[in-house]
Structure 1
Amino acid sequence: MTRTPPTLGQGSRTSAPQPDALLDQPVDRPPGVVAGPRDVAARTRADRSDPAPGPVGGDGPVGVGHAPCHHGEILQGIFLDSAGRPCRGLVTLPVPGTGTTATFVRHLESPAGHLTVRPADREKARRAAALAVAECARRTGEQPCGGRLALHGRVPVGIGMGSSTSDVIATARAVAASFGVRLPPETVARIAVRAEQASDPLMLGTNAALFASREARVLEDFGGPLPSVVVLSCTTGAGRPVDTLALPAPSVRAVPAYEELRAALRQAIVTADVGLLARVSSESARRNQPLLPKPELDVLERVAGRAGATGVQVAHSGNVAGLLFDPAAPDLPDRLRRAAGGLAAHGLRVGRSFGI
């Protein structure tokens, strides 16, 4: 297993975009083999890819940017910020090595806001491109202009893996690269929230963070990555898309309970305790049931217990889910096989396993 995530915060004027590596392989290997980033949710993807974007014609500089995706949340709820005010926050579970690649060509003669996007339905990415052009022009003193944006990736849409945020962040990075600048994470976060109203913290570095997804700010940097863990991916709700913005907020009365989970997660990160991480994740999944009910949660927990998993993990605003395993377990392949068989026996779509 590796805990080295994708390189963040970088773009290039010269790098050629590479095909996404997460979901472009068929599911033909028996579960129980801990694999890399090709293996997540392979049975459940919604194919979002155009052919890999080659050179995109234009009359100005070209920038390329990349952004990762995630596998839902370890913790999501309502917390206190540094001023003691209740605030929605979340901690995502990263998926290494995959996401969206964006290529942006500046059209220097085109007016600001004159943007073409491929695929044409990526309106959030279009808004992000316009915002990023304005920000980069302000920083460099150049004139805002139009451009052409191409997106490539196979992140499943609407099941809680951060597909739109991945598009938006890759776009902001590609635009910045075309201007020859690098936007700091907090600026990218503001662009993302303005473009899509609520954003995942995919613009941040390697440390786990409690992120206010509608306010573009970090409530807590936990000072290190999540403990190493192996995830067996599956989907609930038949993989149906979920409208994130339509979901209700947790009650403010739940703040004390979520603050306890926050403290437990902090301890799990400091001590690299995968068991405690899984307990936090499982409890957060249970607490999310009134907001986005998952009838399969009981099945997930029963199968986890029988297969020797340490807990469960769900997308709190989507349908991707997983069982969590200690990577040090000596019989890990057998546990994964039992878990995959148990999930499949209950009609759940089983993906692949991956490690962070």
Structure 2
Amino acid sequence: MLTLAGEAREARHPPNGTVSGVCHGTLGELYQGPLRESTEPDIAVVSFPVDRHSWVHFTPGTDAPNRLPLGEKSATAAGLFLEHFGLTLPPGRFDTHSDLRVGVGMASSTADIVATLRCLFRTFALPYDPDVVVGILAAIERADSVFLDEFALHLSGRHRVIRRLGTDIGFHTAYITEPGTVDTAAVTDLLLEHYRRHGEEYERCLTDLLKGFASGDPAAVARAATTSAALSQEVLPKATFDSLLAHRERLGAEGVFVAHTGCLIGFLFSCRPGADVKSDISAFFRSLGHQCSFAQGGYG
């Protein structure tokens, strides 16, 4: 755990009151698979941003505790930030809050790190520098692209944005969390072998997805997301996938999405479902033994 005292340079502009950093999470991915342009095997993702967030607040004060009550990765990120800029924190207190469930595919740890760094930029009145954020993330973990406020095709292991996909596409979602967790690092080799066996199918899927984004067509994006989810079934299956696929049309959904290396699965709707449709969706998921949640994903 990092202390708030040190010998480094003091804050340039200590805050007069509470400052905050906020970062959205994800509902898994609209695509996860290989990238033919990549010179080395890696996992490419188009993360699915969700209107759920992680918050980090800093309140200055000489009577505040002298410890950072942050998670291990966020505390590491704070230490790297202070080292990079040669700064030490003024006396104060950190508080955190999150809507994001841990270990299910909502990018909770990455969102915590980004929220921490955004809070620190504000604490020291420094201009926000995404290159610093990416560099710190790269030193800590494989990361989703939640540091961007738009869709992106992203190499999560190499922290490289291949293509920015904008903010024209948005969905309403109904989703559940299946039991269990998936360790992405532990299954990376399994995934890469699966990608090699199905390279042409993934290439067509990604091409269709990118065309959907380029034309602003949510239905095309939803179809490609469903294809990506179906391909994932062969290596990291979801127990309820076949049921969702079979009932997608009846419930008026354009597609099915998953957290490819997580536990989330749900429906994509380009228009907000009405109360009756939400009741039907909820009854369907309850028949599978799950309580569903509704959330807005993407932008648009």
Equivalent residue of 2:116, what SS? helix
The answer to whether the Cα contact below 8 Å between 1:211 and 1:217 also exists between their aligned partners in 2 is: yes
Residue of structure 1 equivalent to 2:23: 67
Deviates more, 1:302-311 or 1:275-284: 302-311
Asked if 2 retains the 8 angstrom alpha-carbon contact of 1:173 and 1:182, the reply is no
Paired position in structure 2 for 1:345: 287
Indicate how the Cα distance of structure 1 residues 290 and 133 shifts in structure 2: closer, same or farther if over 3 A, else same: farther
The correspondence for 2:128, drawn from 172, 177, 183, is: 183
Measure the CA separation in 2 of the matches of 1:102 and 1:313.
Answer: 29
Decide whether aligned partners of structure 1 residues 132 and 291 sit closer, same or farther in structure 2, where only a CA change above 3 A counts. farther
Shift of 1:127: 0.9
Distance in 1 between residues matched to 2:127 and 2:34, nearest whole Å: 32
2:128 aligned with 1:173, yes or no? no
| Deviation larger for 225-234 or 317-326 | 225-234
Distance 2:17 2:218 in 1: 37
Work out whether 1:269 is the aligned partner of 2:213.
yes
For 2:282 and 2:167, the matched residues in 1 are separated by 27
Take 2:33 and 2:44, find their aligned partners in 1: how far apart are those partners? 6
After TM superposition, list the pairs within 5 Å mapping 1:311-350 onto structure 2. 311-327=255-271, 332-350=274-292
**1:80 & 1:136 partners in 2: Cα distance?**
37
Which residue pairs with 2:45 in the alignment? 90
Aligned residues: 277
Aligned to 1:163: 108
Q: Spell out, residue by residue over 1:259-310, the C-alpha distance to the aligned partner (whole angstroms, 9 max, x if none).
A: 2222211111122222211111111111112332212111111221321211
Identity of aligned residues (%): 27
* 1:317 positional shift: 1.7
Q: In the alignment, which residue of structure 2 is the partner of 1:44?
A: none
Partner residue in 2 for 1:37: none
Instruction: Identify if the C-alpha distance between structure 1 residues 349 and 86 changes in structure 2 by more than 3 Å, giving closer, same or farther.
Output: same
* Equivalence for 2:8: none
Q: Does the C-alpha gap of structure 1 residues 136 and 94 become closer, same or farther in structure 2, counting only changes over 3 Å?
A: same
Match of 2:242 in 1: 298
Find the residue that maps to 2:122 and give its secondary structure.
Answer: helix
1:211 and 2:166 correspond: no
Q: 1:308 and 1:75 mapped to 2: Cα distance?
A: 21
**How far apart in 1 are the matches of 2:221 and 2:162?**
19
How far off its partner does 1:349 sit? Answer: 2.3
CA change 1:332–1:308 in 2 (3 A) is same
Alignment of 1:1-356 (within 5 A): 13=15, 16=18, 63-81=19-37, 84-96=39-51, 98-104=52-58, 116-119=67-70, 122-137=71-86, 143-144=87-88, 149-195=94-140, 197-206=141-150, 208-222=151-165, 224-225=166-167, 227-237=169-179, 240-248=180-188, 249-251=191-193, 252-253=195-196, 254-327=198-271, 332-354=274-296, 356=299
Report how far residue 159 of structure 1 moved: 1.0
Q: Deviations over 1:16-45 (max 9, x none)?
A: 4xxxxxxxxxxxxxxxxxxxxxxxxxxxxx
Alpha-carbon distance in structure 2 between the residues aligned to 1:15 and 1:84:
48
**1:265/1:309 CA distance change after superposition, 3 Å:** same
- Give the residue type in structure 2 aligned to 1:233: Y
Q: Is the 8 A contact 1:186 1:216 kept in 2?
A: no
- Distance in 1, matches of 2:128 and 2:89, equals 18
Q: What is the CA–CA distance in structure 1 between the aligned matches of 2:45 and 2:162, rounded to whole Å?
A: 9
Backbone CA RMSD of aligned residues:
2.7
Q: Secondary structure at the match of 1:201?
A: coil
Per-residue CA shift, 1:176-211, capped at 9, x if unaligned?
22222133223212212312x2111111133x1011
The one-letter code matched in structure 2 to 1:301 is L
Ranges in structure 2 where 5+ consecutive residues have no aligned partner:
1-13
Q: Whole-Å Cα distance in 2 between the matches of residues 314 and 306 of structure 1?
A: 19
> Hey, what's the Cα distance between the residues in 2 that align with 1:84 and 1:69?
29
Q: Relative to structure 1, is the Cα distance of residues 107 and 86 closer, same or farther in structure 2, using a 3 angstrom cutoff?
A: farther
Q: Secondary structure at the residue paired with 1:321? A: strand
C-alpha contact (below 8 Å) 2:241/2:265 kept by paired residues: no
The one-letter amino acid paired with 2:53 is G
Q: Is the 8 A contact 2:16 2:60 kept in 1?
A: no
Displacement after TM superposition at 1:84 (Å): 4.3
CA distance in structure 1 between the aligned counterparts of 2:175 and 2:80, rounded to whole angstroms: 35
1:157–1:163 contact (8 Å) kept in structure 2: yes
Q: 1:101 to 1:236 in 2, by over 3 A?
A: same
